Amino acid sequence: MELGTLGIWSMQLRDARREEVREAVAELDALGIGTLWIPGLDGKGAFDDVDALLAATPRAVVALGVLAVWGQHPVDVGRAVAELDAAHGPRTLLGLGVSSPESAAAVGQAWGNPLDTMSDYLDELAATEHPVARDRLMLGALGPRMARLAATRTAGLHPFLVPAEYAEVQRAQLGAEALVAPHLAVVLDTDRARARDIARAGIGFFFGLPAYRANLARFGFADDDVADGGSDRLIDAVVAHGDLSAVARRVRQHLEAGADHIALHVLTGDNDLPRAQWRELATLVGPGGGIA
């Protein structure tokens, strides 16, 4: 699917009032943002929210980044994507992930081997009445084995909370064909201490989860770095903060390392739609923005 170089990743696009979301999405479309990412979480209401976003924009791709497979029957997921295609055309990108043992337990399923779980799920999805095409699928992969599965069974991977070097590692392992579309948290604030605090409040919880800790350890981050919402060194590595030019530099680092598309997640310290920040970020893809 044609995602463009930059997209917007937002929980607020699921949480805000539908009227506000429609206005914001129409503006993003007019500004040239071609892909909207929302978290799938546990699946509740996720496809309804995708439907609302697709209805609000005639052109954008809407990506679930990502939907935990626990409790999501492949038959229901395939049908939901087919219904969205019938209503809006093939503009839904389905990201899938294994999440955590707690997510499995919450729906009474055994965690098992994450790689086998995802492989089996993809098999079951492919065997349904409404299989989802490979180029319409991505995995929320972090480790090398899940990344290889993403490259061989889907369009590619949507990693969360990774430094720019991550794309270089995956390119060396997976080659040029796999789509690498990382999430990148953004704080448009030139006060470094305040920006780091906003980042910790928004994403710091995830650093303590085993999958993220293990992946960050591959890049030299120790237990001290992932404690208490993240060390300054870790925050600076996985969050683009500062003014627009600083964010642009970080985006270029990811692209030069091998990423194809960057999903920009604006953090502000509140739950309002960050429309002013989105407007600013959209200038990066406009004439003279410096990022194709």
Residues in contact with 286: Cβ distance below 8 Å, sequence separation at least 6, in sequence order: 31, 32
At 41 the pLDDT is 85
DSSP state of 160: S
Q: 0.85 cut: is pTM over it? A: yes
Q: Mean pLDDT across the stretch 55-82?
A: 96
At 287 the pLDDT is 61
Assess whether pLDDT exceeds 90 at residue 291.
no
Compute the distance between CA of residue 212 and CA of residue 206 in angstroms, rounded to an integer.
7
What does the block give as tokens for 157?
């991977």
Share of the chain above pLDDT 90, in %: 95
Q: Mean pLDDT across the stretch 117-125?
A: 98
At 46 the pLDDT is 96
Any idea of the CA torsion for 149, 92, 81, 76, to the nearest 10 degrees? 50
What does the block give as tokens for 149?
């599965």
- Tens of pLDDT, residue by residue over 48-58, are 999 999 999 99
Q: Indicate the pLDDT class of residue 4, thresholds 50, 70 and 90.
A: very high
Q: Mean pLDDT across the stretch 191-217?
A: 97
Compute the distance between CA of residue 79 and CA of residue 92 in angstroms, rounded to an integer.
13
Assess whether pLDDT exceeds 70 at residue 74.
yes
Q: Indicate the pLDDT class of residue 156, thresholds 50, 70 and 90.
A: very high
At 88 the pLDDT is 98
At 37 the pLDDT is 98
What does 52-120 look like in DSSP terms, one character per residue? Answer: HHHHH-SS-EEEEEEEE-TT--HHHHHHHHHHHHHHH-S-EEEEEE---HHHHHHTT-----HHHHHHH
At 288 the pLDDT is 60
